[in-house]
Amino acid sequence: MAIIENIISVCIITYNQEHYIQRTIESVLAQKIDAGIEIIISDDGSTDRTAQICTNFQTNYPALIRFIRSSINRGVLSNWYQAIKAASAPYIAILEGDDYWIDPEKLSKQLAILKKDQVGFVYTDFYYSDEQHHTLIQGMKHYKPSNNLFEETLFDQAITSSTIMFRREIFDFALFQRFIENHFLTPDLPLFLQFSLTSTGTFLSDVTTVYTWKAGSVRRPILQHDELQFRESIYRIRLFFIQKARENQKSSLLKNEYIHKSDQLLIAWKHNDFDYACRVAKTFPFVLTWRKDRKFALVTLFSRAKFIFHFLQPYITRKRTLQ
């Protein structure tokens, strides 16, 4: 019997996702592709039924699925690293444990592009699944890739992890270890910045994936402290790569600083924290802010008057969103 060589490793990253993981795995099993694939499920020490569900799938598909389980929760970046390091195929696709694929030809389409165009990675359009409002929103309906994907990703990340397929050779294991050592809170932004800085990518406009956007996740914290921590991590990731790229450093550093302080101010408004908003607002020179963004300059002004702050807080929170 001939042994089929694996061409694609699908890395499913999961932690405490018992309500989602079955749908996620089944969406991979539904892929129509002639090439050999392996499915690696990396669990970061789940305390719910996630591991049991994954074990059942491994039992039913022993030649296809490899289940790796950590005994303790080591963090999302370490979980990504573990999964990708275990991958044996030359092409890798990422799928987070609460997302799922809706295009059964996703892998075959991306593989064809990677082989034909000799690019480093391919990413696609997707739907946001807003669980609170039970709606699907197309994520990249009006998206057009810029000529500088690194600059685009740095300040306006469009790529979603569960849509991407990349060549294993462009993954820098040593650099990813530095992401872990720096305690970055999200793996996708630094990874995509590394890819766009050292390789080339192609956008496939087909909608292939549903990305679950839920409160309480890493990217959508509920508590003010957690939200500030996450935005601080994004700020440090940008800073790391601005220094690494060494192009347009001065303007990029200034932009990163401005966005970070803007995020802090908007978080204060969102959580109705006048004292913190007032402290942050005082770091914005009003005239310079007015020249850059008049509406936001007014927000910094309103942040210094307690009565106006509380009176306008519901309106400002609805109208202004984090970048």
Residues 238-275 have pLDDT tens digits of 999 999 987 778 999 999 999 999 999 999 999 999 99
> Are 164 and 122 spatial neighbours (Cβ–Cβ below 8 Å)?
yes
CA distance 309 to 321: 17
CATH number of the domain to which 49 belongs: 3.90.550.10
End-to-end CA, the chain: 54
pLDDT in tens, the chain (323 residues): 345 688 999 999 999 999 999 999 999 999 999 999 999 999 999 999 999 999 999 999 999 999 999 999 999 999 999 999 999 999 999 999 999 999 999 999 999 999 998 899 999 999 999 877 678 999 999 999 888 999 999 999 889 999 999 999 999 999 999 999 999 999 999 999 999 999 999 999 999 999 998 777 777 888 999 999 999 999 999 999 999 987 778 999 999 999 999 999 999 999 999 999 999 999 999 999 999 999 999 999 999 999 999 999 988 887 655 44
Instruction: Give the bridge partners for 10, in sequence order.
Output: 39, 93
Has residue 131 been placed in a domain?
yes
Has residue 1 been placed in a domain?
no
Global confidence as pTM: 0.92
For residues 178 and 88, membership in a common domain is answered with yes
Has residue 155 been placed in a domain?
yes
For residues 204 and 255, membership in a common domain is answered with no
For residues 193 and 265, membership in a common domain is answered with no
As for how many domains the chain has, the answer is: 2
Decide which of 213, 240, 260 is a domain's last residue. 213
The tokens 């709606």 sit on which residue? 135
Has residue 106 been placed in a domain?
yes
H or E element that contains 125: strand 121-130
Has residue 96 been placed in a domain?
yes
For residues 276 and 159, membership in a common domain is answered with no
For residues 292 and 184, membership in a common domain is answered with no
For residues 204 and 275, membership in a common domain is answered with no
Residue 142 has phi, psi (to 5 degrees) of: -110, 20
> What are the CA-CA distances from residue 163 to residues 107, 188, 195, 207 (Å)?
10, 11, 14, 9
Give the residue numbers spanning the domain of 288. 248-319
Has residue 123 been placed in a domain?
yes
